[in-house]
Amino acid sequence: MSVKKLLSYWIMGWLLCFTTSIDAAEKLPNHIKWETNDTAPVWADPNAKKGGTFRDTIPTFPLTIRMFGPDSNGSFARVLRRNQLRLISYHPDTEEILPQLATHWAFDDDRKTMYFKLDKRARWSDGPLVTADDFVFGLEFMRSKHIVSPWYNNFYTKEIEKLVKYDDHTIAIVATKPDPDLPELVKDLLPQPKHFYGELTKDFVRKYNWTIKPNTGPYFIDKIKKGKSITLKRKKDWWAKDLKYFKGRFNVDKIIFTVVRDQSTVFEYFKKNKVDYFSLTLPSYWHEKAKNLDIHQKGYAKKHWFYTNSREPPIGFWLNEDKEVFKDRNVRHAFAHAMNVEKLLKTLLRGDYARLHNVTTGFGKYTNPQIRARNFDIPKVEALMTQSGWKRGNDGIWIKGKMRYSVRVTYTSDTHTARLAFLKEEAKKAGVELNLQRLDGSAAFKSFLEKKHDVAWMGWSTGFRPQYWGSFHSVNAHKPQTNNITNTDDPEMDQLIDSYRKASQTSERIKLAHAIQEKVHEIGSFVPAYKVGYFRAIYWRWWQLPRVPATRSSESFFDLFADDYGTGGLFWLDPEIKKETQQAMKTGKRFDSKTLIDNTFKAN
């Protein structure tokens, strides 16, 4: 981007802030139709009891409690980020729009503007009401250079044209272009407490690194013991606590996050009742380390397995088509047939994980169900390779002229070493040699973006709707710093993606998405590996959950806020059961040993 362009954004940004205040006099158009939603099913248990302390752990102490700027994207920052309400949210199961800070919303016919009526009860934790000015400031905030978040700066300059204030509790957000998923685009614009920040200055990053700022969510930060723990407390008179979609949620009074560096120590802590739950999602824990636990057999703690069904990150091998070997489509397809993912799932992963078939999985109608991943199949590898003129060399690895089918697989996580080592041994049988290269996260990412890798083993995180332009459009191929790490360069693909981006009808987009997924499969530069598709945990029996213990897209039973829309916080503590259990633990009395499996959302 040129300096000029950046400058123009700047000027635009300032102008906007300026104009919004003038716009205050603007009148609300008459043709819009206000909508709200008070009929959606509730997913929490309205009879949940309030009270108690929940003891959780975090692997590292957060680097900051700012929610913006450098290092504000760690796992704990996510907790903080979700501890504030948005204009609207989605129902976790049906995905219909639900009110949060806005009670009503409306769309303009141009599909560019969305109007909101703010809830007049909404309050900041330090007292003042949440008003339209906080949203005006919120946009100014996101565009400010002082928050050192160039990504946000870009996004809110390029995607949002302006924010219009009609009165203290009515606003409109205008996007730069029409969008069929407009709510998704605008809902993340958070109000910022102007009364707290005042003017933003250059020292923002340092000044607010450990400053607790007012929020709109159910909890506030009570205590920070640097390097050791962070305590959140429930706001006793939280303004939204009796609203329909918040009833029975956010029940515990206090949550303590203690830093415990590694998983095995957390497990020890759990067994000694110093922590309230332990995640057993990893196969090695569920099947081995937590197999014969005394506390489980005596019934003091429950094991619980919950199948989810939501957007799955595309985890697998991303082949770099710019490398000589992968220029040939047959060779790419052979690669897929040489990966014995099925056996990996059955043996090392104990059959817990499921095969991933499609780059777009779990996106509802947007997912093309026809696409099946290529299976491990040595005869097919042999047919494809000989067709392209390759021969098996002395060591069984395919050769053609000076080329040898030996590729480097770059990955980042230690836990994946065993899995890749397994695939490496199996691939040898099919005549493909994998050389494993584990790099530190940022170094690996750098090499992917610079397209220096042969094969990248990774997954992208997912958005609300599938997206393809960044990863598969030829505009982003053959140059550094773009997400097209496969260097996919296919005119038909380009055409499909362009129409997908332009399509304004949902049905048309779905059709195009299916076609794109087919194309991705045909090109074969992404080899899908597996999806987890569940989570499970062991927790003390005094913790209670609703009948359906979590939502379709939850990540844990005990996630306070669950996802970006804050649909979690469903658990509560039953003090009677706690007392009873603690007594039993002293006397050695037993309860029924319980292992629950919930299939409500299980995908086939």
User: Of residues 558-597, which lie at the interface with other proteins (CB under 8 A)?
Assistant: 564
Q: Of these, 465, 474, 593, 603, which contacts other proteins (CB under 8 A)?
A: 465
Nearest to 186 by CA among 244, 115, 281, 238: 115
109-138 residues near other proteins, rule: CB under 8 A: none
Query: How many residues appear in the chain?
Result: 604
Element (H or E) spanning 260, and its range?
A: none
User: Hey, what amino acid is at 450?
Assistant: E
- DSSP-derived letter for residue 365 is G
Confirm or reject binding of residue 440 to other proteins (CB under 8 A): yes
The answer to whether 469 and 443 have CB atoms below 8 angstroms apart is no
174-233 residues near other proteins, rule: CB under 8 A: 175-177, 179-181, 184-185, 187-188, 205-206, 209-210, 226-227
Confirm or reject binding of residue 382 to other proteins (CB under 8 A): yes
Task: Write down the least CB distance from residue 438 to other proteins, Å.
Answer: 7
Confirm or reject binding of residue 478 to other proteins (CB under 8 A): no
272: which residues sit within 8 A by CB, 6+ positions away? none
Task: Write down the least CB distance from residue 600 to other proteins, Å.
Answer: 25
Q: What CA–CA distance (Å, rounded) separates 589 from 580?
A: 10
Task: Write down the least CB distance from residue 481 to other proteins, Å.
Answer: 5
Q: What CA–CA distance (Å, rounded) separates 486 from 456?
A: 9
The side-by-side arrangement of strands in the sheet containing 160-167 is 102-107, 113-118, 170-175, 160-167
Residues contacting other proteins: total by CB under 8 A? 101
**Residue burial 70-81, b: 16+ Cβ < 10 Å; e: rest:** eebebebbbbbb
Task: Write down the least CB distance from residue 25 to other proteins, Å.
Answer: 29
Site stretch for other proteins (CB under 8 A), options 93-101, 122-130, 399-407, 500-508: 500-508
Q: How many CB atoms lie within 10 A of CB 182?
A: 19
Site stretch for other proteins (CB under 8 A), options 282-290, 297-305, 315-323, 357-365: 282-290
Task: Write down the least CB distance from residue 51 to other proteins, Å.
Answer: 22
Q: Of these, 36, 437, 544, 600, which contacts other proteins (CB under 8 A)?
A: 437
85: which residues sit within 8 A by CB, 6+ positions away? 100, 101, 122, 216, 217, 240, 566
Encoded tokens for 400: 């053609």
Confirm or reject binding of residue 436 to other proteins (CB under 8 A): yes
Q: What CA–CA distance (Å, rounded) separates 360 from 188?
A: 23
Q: What CA–CA distance (Å, rounded) separates 360 from 312?
A: 7
3-state class of 318 per DSSP? strand
Task: Write down the least CB distance from residue 396 to other proteins, Å.
Answer: 5
Confirm or reject binding of residue 36 to other proteins (CB under 8 A): no
Q: Of these, 316, 466, 524, 566, which contacts other proteins (CB under 8 A)?
A: 466
Between the alpha carbon of residue 10 and those of residues 157, 161, 202, 204, the distances in Å are 8, 13, 16, 18
Confirm or reject binding of residue 384 to other proteins (CB under 8 A): no
Confirm or reject binding of residue 254 to other proteins (CB under 8 A): no
Q: Of these, 394, 505, 587, 599, which contacts other proteins (CB under 8 A)?
A: 394
Confirm or reject binding of residue 483 to other proteins (CB under 8 A): yes
Confirm or reject binding of residue 449 to other proteins (CB under 8 A): yes
Task: Write down the least CB distance from residue 181 to other proteins, Å.
Answer: 5
User: 305 vs 445, which CB is nearer to other proteins?
Assistant: 445
328: which residues sit within 8 A by CB, 6+ positions away? 388
The answer to whether 82 and 217 have CB atoms below 8 angstroms apart is yes
Q: Of these, 121, 223, 261, 372, which contacts other proteins (CB under 8 A)?
A: 261
74-113 residues near other proteins, rule: CB under 8 A: none
Strands (E), 73-127: 88-90, 97-99, 102-107, 113-118
Task: Write down the least CB distance from residue 155 to other proteins, Å.
Answer: 5
Q: What are phi and psi of 363, to 5 degrees?
A: -100, 25
Task: Write down the least CB distance from residue 223 to other proteins, Å.
Answer: 13
Confirm or reject binding of residue 508 to other proteins (CB under 8 A): no
Confirm or reject binding of residue 73 to other proteins (CB under 8 A): yes
Beta-bridged to residue 406, according to DSSP, are 433
Task: Write down the least CB distance from residue 213 to other proteins, Å.
Answer: 16
Site stretch for other proteins (CB under 8 A), options 150-158, 318-326, 369-377, 583-591: 150-158
The C-alpha R_g of the chain, in whole angstroms, comes to 26
Q: Of these, 154, 330, 388, 474, which contacts other proteins (CB under 8 A)?
A: 154
Site stretch for other proteins (CB under 8 A), options 20-28, 293-301, 476-484, 523-531: 476-484
Beta-bridged to residue 442, according to DSSP, are none
Site stretch for other proteins (CB under 8 A), options 89-97, 211-219, 389-397, 541-549: 389-397
Confirm or reject binding of residue 41 to other proteins (CB under 8 A): no
Q: Of these, 120, 274, 589, 594, which contacts other proteins (CB under 8 A)?
A: 274
**Is the alpha carbon torsion for 127, 234, 36, 21 positive or negative?**
positive
Site stretch for other proteins (CB under 8 A), options 131-139, 169-177, 242-250, 523-531: 169-177
User: 47 vs 53, which CB is nearer to other proteins?
Assistant: 53
Between the alpha carbon of residue 299 and those of residues 270, 279, 296, 581, 584, the distances in Å are 15, 17, 5, 9, 10
Let me know how many helices (H) and strands (E) the chain has, helices first: 19, 26
Q: Of these, 497, 550, 560, 573, which contacts other proteins (CB under 8 A)?
A: 497
User: Hey, what amino acid is at 371?
Assistant: I
Task: Write down the least CB distance from residue 376 to other proteins, Å.
Answer: 13
Site stretch for other proteins (CB under 8 A), options 122-130, 190-198, 259-267, 327-335: 259-267
16-35 residues near other proteins, rule: CB under 8 A: none
324-353 residues near other proteins, rule: CB under 8 A: 343, 346-348, 350
Specify burial of residue 54 (Cβ count, 10 A radius: 0-12, 13-18, 19+): buried
Confirm or reject binding of residue 446 to other proteins (CB under 8 A): yes
The answer to whether 341 and 355 have CB atoms below 8 angstroms apart is yes
Task: Write down the least CB distance from residue 547 to other proteins, Å.
Answer: 30
